[in-house]
Amino acid sequence: MTAVTQPDVTRWDRAWPVLPYLFILLPACFSLLRDLRPAVLALALAAGAWHWFMITSRSGRAERPAAAAVYFVVLLALIGALVNLDSLFAVSGLTLFMQSFTLLPGWWAYAGVAATAGVLVGAQPPEPGRTIGDMVFSFCVAVLVASTTGLIVQTISEQNESAKAMIAQLRETGAKLAALGEENAMLQAELLTRAREAGVLGERQRMAREIHDTIAQSLTAIITQLEVADGVAGDPAATRTRLDTVRTLARESLNDARRSVQALRPAPLDDAQLSSALSGIAAKWAATSGVAATVSVTGDPRPLHVEVEGTLLRVAQEALANVGKHASATRVALTLSYMEDVVVLDVRDDGAGFDPETSGRPGPGGFGLIAMRQRVTRLAGEFEVETGPGQGTGISATVPAIPAAAEPGSADARGTRC
């Protein structure tokens, strides 16, 4: 099993509590091998035990300044006694230099360094020919070495604290990112739910428009033709003509119903461009309603996206159906204008007009304007109605001129063939 390391614990955190054992016990081994003295063994074990009690057994025991000072003074006394017994233990002073800058706060660290240097120099056994000048020189060298060591220890300690702060910040940032990730996941789930609901609603509205623009209009035309046929029952030829028209309308209604279910483009656009399809619809509507209808095209005709052409064709069909049912007009003019960025369909009649404040609301016969406006605005277009009682009616549908992607077998591709 792999041991789990704590990210807040650095190498220096693990190293500095262990180094005193090496600097105390290692010279003790060499000293005892050279001369087995019980005093050296007892003082070395006491120094190691004292360090274990204050530092190793409980890391927070020496965090308070008073406890750190007590630990330092006792350890300094023990090492001074060892140095007095054997100068080899002067090496142990290095651990006191490190502990000064690790445990003692501020300028107390330098006081600890000076005290350690003084003990190391003064506690050594007297040597023949050793003068006061030599002792002062040794003290200065010890302080210089200790200060250099202290700067290194302080640098390591500062880097250690910076690393801890950075790790804590990274951990906090990771927690925030995890929380943001969960929040984003929830938002995405909510967006997907809303998009699914919007898609269902949009599909219902599309089917409502398709049924109204195709089946409902065809059924209205069929009823009209049957009523006319009933009125000319005494004329077999006229009755047969009306019945042939009813059959044609019924077949077209059936085909439109199938295409609406399959979400295909309107039937008149299957074999013709938009301008030709409009001319065919206007001619058929004029023959059925008895109202003159003309189609004019301005600009440069070009294939457009199937949604654009289908929308404009449905708007034209609905507008003509409204004219036939409500306007009592004598003529209708359809104008298809191709511009650089948009394409505009205008349908104007000279009929009775209506009051726009009371029209276009849901209800019997009131779905037409709503359906047209929904179709146009769904493509980010604009839909306008100009009318008034006795002034005729004009509608204008402006949609983006999105070009068609000519694919093999598509209507746009067929329109570009020679």
Q: Which residue has the tokens 């036939």?
A: 324
Q: What is the DSSP string of 174-226?
A: HHHHHHHHHHHHHHHHHHHHHHHHHHHHHHHHHHHHHIIIIIIHHHHHHHHHH
- Residue 343: predicted pLDDT: 95
The span from the CA of 360 to the CA of 371, in Å, is 9
- How confident is residue 4, by pLDDT bands cut at 50, 70 and 90? very low
341-358: buried (b, 16+ CB within 10 Å) or exposed (e) per residue?
Answer: eebbbbbbbbbbbbeeee
End-to-end CA distance of the chain: 77
- Residue 116: predicted pLDDT: 73
The span from the CA of 179 to the CA of 175, in Å, is 6
The most confident of the ranges 11-15, 38-42, 190-194, 268-272 is 38-42
Q: How many CB atoms lie within 10 A of CB 231?
A: 12
Residue 347 has pLDDT above 90, yes or no: yes
The span from the CA of 179 to the CA of 192, in Å, is 20
Average the pLDDT over each of 153-157, 158-162, 297-301 and give the range with the smallest value. 153-157
- Residue 232: predicted pLDDT: 63
- How confident is residue 386, by pLDDT bands cut at 50, 70 and 90? very high
The most confident of the ranges 93-97, 273-277, 335-339 is 335-339
pLDDT digits (tens, 9 = 90+) for 396-409: 999 998 887 644 33
Averaged pLDDT for residues 21-35: 81
- Residue 273: predicted pLDDT: 83
Say whether pTM exceeds 0.75.
Answer: no
Residue 335 has pLDDT above 90, yes or no: yes
- Residue 182: predicted pLDDT: 82
- Residue 348: predicted pLDDT: 94
Residue 412 has pLDDT above 50, yes or no: no
Averaged pLDDT for residues 74-88: 82
Which domains are present in the chain?
11-173 (no CATH), 272-418 (3.30.565.10)
- Residue 74: predicted pLDDT: 85
Averaged pLDDT for residues 317-344: 91
